[in-house]
Structure 1
Amino acid sequence: MAALIGERAWRRDAAGESGGAVYRLVGGGDLYLKWGEHAVAQAIADEAHRLWWLQGRMPAARPLSFVTQDAQAWLLTAALPGRSGDAWLERDPALLPRIIDAFASFLVQLHALDPAECPFRADAAVRIADARRQVREGLVDEDDFDPDHEGWSAGDVLAEVERLAPIAKATCVTHGDFSLGNLILDEGMTVTGCIDVGRLGVADPYQDIAIFWQNLAEHGPAMQQRFLDAIGLRQPDADRLALHRCLDELF
């Protein structure tokens, strides 16, 4: 990757909770480099394959190079112009309605992709298998649960996931971690691309809907309803929201 990186300056990006390392490489067209080993390396590989698949289908970060060696992985991508949704919100909270509308428009387009063309599975069975491993290995941060799950154990949340799992419907291409930090928008609030797509795959649309809906909880029910209206879902399925919110708690 040295020829692609050139003489750019390296800046560590502390955002995210992947367990690997992310660097912004500045100068002559900024780049991002992700590195990780073992399980993180697999997650980076998952993201690389999905970014290549997204090219020409949806706005997404452009992968430039991917290398794996000795249980390690490196992914180099071109930086997208703009800021993440949460970065814009921190800069100007009044932008929230426009950010919601931009995210909703992107999500409608993503969910309209032909799932038959997507080679990646992310349905409830896949996610629950991963969730069981998270719980078994003690990797769930119970102190980070949402207020309505306060006092629950990871086992309690997993039991609720397994109870609700039969209602999931794997019908569309989902982002998998559709949160305010994972779309980049320009100054006109147009989405320039998505990032952190390692969980992208065919799944229940509520996989994305539930995460973003919960993201908006601190901004009040009116903003949550604005999002639901924008995607054409005036009356959401409460059980499917609960299922995918619980699943998200385990990662």
Structure 2
Amino acid sequence: MSEMNREEACPAVRVPESMSIAVAGYVWARDKVGESGGAVYRLHGKPGTPDLYLKHGKRAVADDIADEMARLRWLSGRLPVPAVAHFNCTVDEAWLLMTAVPGQTAYQLLQADPGQHDAVVDALARFLKRLHAIPTSACPFNSDHAYRLGLARSRIEAGLIDEDDFDDERAGWTAQQVWDAMQALLPLAPDQVVTHGDYSLDNLLMVDGEVAGCIDAGRVGIADRYQDLAIAWNCLGEFGGALQERFLRQYGVATPDRRKLQFHLLLDELF
């Protein structure tokens, strides 16, 4: 997906006074991919100055932005992630200004050049192993499936699930049907690592054949490794089953746990 398709030009938006100097002089564009209820802007075109990204949201989205800010600060020095340039929050609104991660998304590379497919998938597996090798004892954030099931139940009851956005195999399902299908797969034996939480092709930036960084880190926390494996595996399905299986092999999974794959894909539908 090109930058033109990912975003649209927009006027500069009003920001807190404490942030106004940091964003002055930039050209603004609004991101159309993965906003999750908030707004994401790319700030670019300021001579001699690198691009920035700004996330803005209210109410529950503001809480999500605050969660991401805390995780980015914790990940700094452990993995390549955006640096927090400025953070501002009020009772029900939050603004997060970050440095841009260089490169193209893994999705853009896979879409543009089939000849790179194997190399991209291998790089995604290497980076995920690097993330999962961070000691869980160092991570203060919990994202395990029991915790996320509680959040999912609250979202269902609040009517926050976009049932029209379910994957094709669950087209026409209700959120309650997704919930019931998950319950049928429990219990699951946890295999806990530090996870990204949304290890999708649009959240991984690549330079010279390697992952240069990851974005959208608001769900980072300790969870079963299949939280990440399932989302990446599902994204790769667009490019064929052979790439899906290669990704799992390169990560080190010879015989995937299909039950866990299915559970985590169902769980992701509710977020």
Structure 2 counterpart of 1:25: 43
Secondary structure, aligned partner of 1:40: helix
> Among residues 191, 216, 232, which one is paired with 1:212 in the alignment?
232
Structure 2 counterpart of 1:140: 161
Query: How many Å separate the matches in 2 of 1:232 and 1:91?
Result: 27
CA separation of 1:15 and 1:146: change in aligned 2, threshold 3 A: closer
RCO greater where, 1 or 2, for CA within 8 Å and sep 6 or more? Answer: 1
Structure 2 counterpart of 1:76: 97
Q: Deviations over 1:8-43 (max 9, x none)?
A: 111111211311111111121110011000011011
Say whether residues 1:9 and 2:27 are aligned partners.
Answer: yes
**5 Å matches for 1:90-101?**
90-101=111-122
More displaced stretch, 213-222 vs 86-95: 86-95
Query: How many Å separate the matches in 2 of 1:179 and 1:198?
Result: 13
Structure 1: stretches of 5+ with no match in the other structure: none
Say whether residues 1:114 and 2:135 are aligned partners.
Answer: yes
Query: How many Å separate the matches in 2 of 1:197 and 1:168?
Result: 25
Query: How many Å separate the matches in 2 of 1:8 and 1:183?
Result: 25
Give me the identity figure in percent. 48
Residues paired across the two proteins, number: 250
Query: How many Å separate the matches in 1 of 2:116 and 2:108?
Result: 11
Say whether residues 1:103 and 2:124 are aligned partners.
Answer: yes
Structure 1 counterpart of 2:179: 158
> Among residues 237, 251, 257, which one is paired with 1:237 in the alignment?
257
TM-score, length basis structure 2: 0.88
Query: How many Å separate the matches in 1 of 2:192 and 2:63?
Result: 25
Q: 1:165: Cα distance to partner?
A: 3.5
One-letter amino acid of the counterpart of residue 75, structure 2: L
Q: 1:141: Cα distance to partner?
A: 2.2
Say whether residues 1:197 and 2:217 are aligned partners.
Answer: yes
Q: CA RMSD in A?
A: 1.4
One-letter amino acid of the counterpart of residue 233, structure 2: W
One-letter amino acid of the counterpart of residue 123, structure 2: A
Structure 2 counterpart of 1:149: 170
More displaced stretch, 14-23 vs 109-118: 14-23
Q: 1:168: Cα distance to partner?
A: 4.4
One-letter amino acid of the counterpart of residue 162, structure 2: D
Structure 1 counterpart of 2:7: none
Say whether residues 1:85 and 2:99 are aligned partners.
Answer: no
Structure 1 runs, 4 residues or longer, greater than 4 Å off? none
CA separation of 1:5 and 1:17: change in aligned 2, threshold 3 A: closer
> Among residues 175, 178, 185, which one is paired with 2:196 in the alignment?
175
Secondary structure, aligned partner of 1:166: coil
One-letter amino acid of the counterpart of residue 52, structure 2: L
Secondary structure, aligned partner of 1:164: coil
Query: How many Å separate the matches in 2 of 1:78 and 1:46?
Result: 17
TM-score, length basis structure 1: 0.95
One-letter amino acid of the counterpart of residue 161, structure 1: M
More displaced stretch, 174-183 vs 89-98: 89-98
Say whether residues 1:221 and 2:266 are aligned partners.
Answer: no
